Structure 1
Amino acid sequence: MIPWGYTVPAVAAVLAVVALELLALRTGLFRKPGYWITIAVVTGFQIPVDGWLTKTSRAIVRYSPEHISGLRFPWDIPIEDFLFGYALVMAVLLLWERAAQKEDPE
């Protein structure tokens, strides 16, 4: 069993999506205010929903302690949930931006 079996893939997912943007897609999305506004909106919804699902007092979703780092922030949310969530959101936004640029090559 690999310690932190969920942490390593979560970090790798974020790094892979950032590398995809910087090395391949090059959409410039990370420099756009709309991207950061989107991330703020996602965070605003992710904290209460994910916090409610993973709160340690009465968790609906539970993780094996040996597979996560144990870092929880805020409201008992495993940091790995944030990492995977942001990797997914970033990937979708990057692919959406890339598709839009191909349709309108100004």
Structure 2
Amino acid sequence: MPEYTVLTVVAVVVVIALELAWLRTGIFRSAQYWAAMAIVFFFQCLVDGWLTKLSDPIVLYSPTQFSGIRFPWDIPIEDFGFGFAMVTGTMLGWLRLGSKEARDDA
């Protein structure tokens, strides 16, 4: 199986498991989170679409390292999973550290 695909799936599963099993911040129930993710994905489509366009790519992907599925335009679908894991993991860290700081101040 392609390395980028495997690592993306692992990252998504780890971030979701981290939230559901350990951190339990409730982020997935937050409308603010989903609004933020919509904004991230909108701009990701613009930038990633431009960087990976097959007509004149700036970023090249080895065909053996990803699934080969590109949507929308020419964006490898793994980029969305990686973006989800990266942004969600950062938000979870922010929420967790913020909660710890609030407890320390109390």
Q: Could you state the TM-score of these two structures normalised by the residue count of structure 1?
A: 0.92
The correspondence of residues 33-72 of structure 1 with structure 2, limited to 5 A, is 33-72=31-70
Runs of 5+ consecutive residues of structure 2 not aligned to the other structure: none
Q: Quote the RMSD (CA, aligned, Å).
A: 1.3
Deviating more after overlay: 94-103 vs 27-36? 94-103
Q: CA deviation at 1:101?
A: 2.0
> Partner of 2:16 in structure 1?
18
| Corresponding residue for residue 73 of structure 2 | 75
Specify the alignment match of 2:92 in structure 1: 94
> Post-superposition shift, 1:104?
3.1
Same amino acid, percent of matched pairs: 56
Runs of 4+, deviation exceeding 6 Å: none
Instruction: Give the gaps of 5 or more residues in structure 1.
Output: none
Matched residues in 1 for 2:28 and 2:38: separation?
13
Superposed CA offset, 1:2-49 (max 9, x none): x31110001110000000001111111111111001001101110010
Equivalent position SS for 1:67: coil
